[in-house]
């Protein structure tokens, strides 16, 4: 059975496409993805583009699965790295077609680490960007920050758990308004910015979009466990 490739296209700047991604995209008969994801790769695709929307993604993926069964080469594009906070898409592809190969890409998380000079092994990562289990993920975020032993990276959830709302909820959870947090927005893209704030300041900033990663540096040993 021919594998259907789920290919990571990187964090936005096409220079972060891997050589493997490029080859698979060029060779593919069908390439599917959400419009913003396809925008990164459009110029390299020779086959047919299948634009997925939240409403019709199941049909789009069924079309790809049918083509893969006929032996055509099919690619589903995922933003960043398919193994980072893209579980719902990957599961949907697996439900449509049983033979899936994940092709790693450069995650926005890796770029975030590079921008703030943090090592992944010294960090924890919590994604609030999920339909289910958002409350548990928020509790994990609060727990990780309370311990303060590791740097913490968090993806907000569009559009009910955006950066300012996360800050407000942490303040309501008795976190200090002086807790430092950096908002990394539009990494590798035009208009990229890194804004260093306190939690109290972030709670009053509603100007950040959904393409953001929050970075909470680990706490000095003396301050750990205080929240």
Ligand X SMILES: C[S@@+](CC[C@H](N)C(=O)[O-])C[C@H]1O[C@@H](n2cnc3c(N)ncnc32)[C@H](O)[C@@H]1O
The nearer residue to ligand X, 13 or 72, going by C-beta atoms, is 13
176 within 8 A of 170, measured Cβ to Cβ: no
What residue ranges bind ligand X (CB under 6 A)? Answer: 11-12, 78-81, 84-86, 107-109, 129, 155-156, 184-189, 210-213
User: Please, what is the minimum distance in Å from the beta carbon of residue 163 to ligand X?
Assistant: 9
The nearer residue to ligand X, 49 or 102, going by C-beta atoms, is 102
User: Please, what is the minimum distance in Å from the beta carbon of residue 223 to ligand X?
Assistant: 27
Sign of CA dihedral 169, 171, 176, 177: positive
The nearer residue to ligand X, 58 or 210, going by C-beta atoms, is 210
User: Please, what is the minimum distance in Å from the beta carbon of residue 39 to ligand X?
Assistant: 13
User: Please, what is the minimum distance in Å from the beta carbon of residue 130 to ligand X?
Assistant: 8
The nearer residue to ligand X, 67 or 153, going by C-beta atoms, is 153
């Amino acid at each position: 059975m021919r594998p259907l490739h789920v290919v990571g296209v990187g964090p936005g700047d096409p220079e972060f496409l891997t050589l493997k991604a490029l080859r698979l995209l060029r060779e593919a008969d069908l390439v599917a993805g959400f419009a913003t994801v396809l925008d990164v790769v459009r110029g390299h695709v020779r086959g047919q583009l299948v634009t997925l929307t939240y409403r019709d993604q199941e049909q789009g993926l069924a079309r790809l699965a049918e083509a893969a069964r006929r032996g055509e080469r099919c690619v589903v594009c995922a933003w960043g790295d398919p193994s980072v906070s893209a579980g719902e898409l990957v599961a949907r592809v697996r439900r449509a077609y049983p033979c899936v190969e994940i092709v790693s890409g450069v995650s926005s998380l890796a770029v975030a680490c590079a921008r703030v000079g943090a090592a992944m092994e010294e960090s924890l990562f919590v994604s609030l960007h999920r339909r289910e289990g958002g409350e548990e993920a928020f509790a994990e975020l609060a727990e990780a920050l309370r311990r303060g032993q590791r740097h913490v990276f968090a993806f907000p959830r569009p559009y009910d758990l955006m950066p300012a709302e996360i800050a407000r909820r942490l303040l309501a959870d008795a976190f200090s308004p002086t807790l430092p947090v950096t908002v990394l927005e539009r990494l590798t893209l035009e208009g990229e910015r890194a804004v260093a704030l306190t939690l109290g300041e972030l709670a009053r900033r509603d100007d950040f979009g959904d393409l953001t990663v929050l970075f909470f540096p680990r706490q000095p040993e003396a301050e750990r466990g205080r929240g």
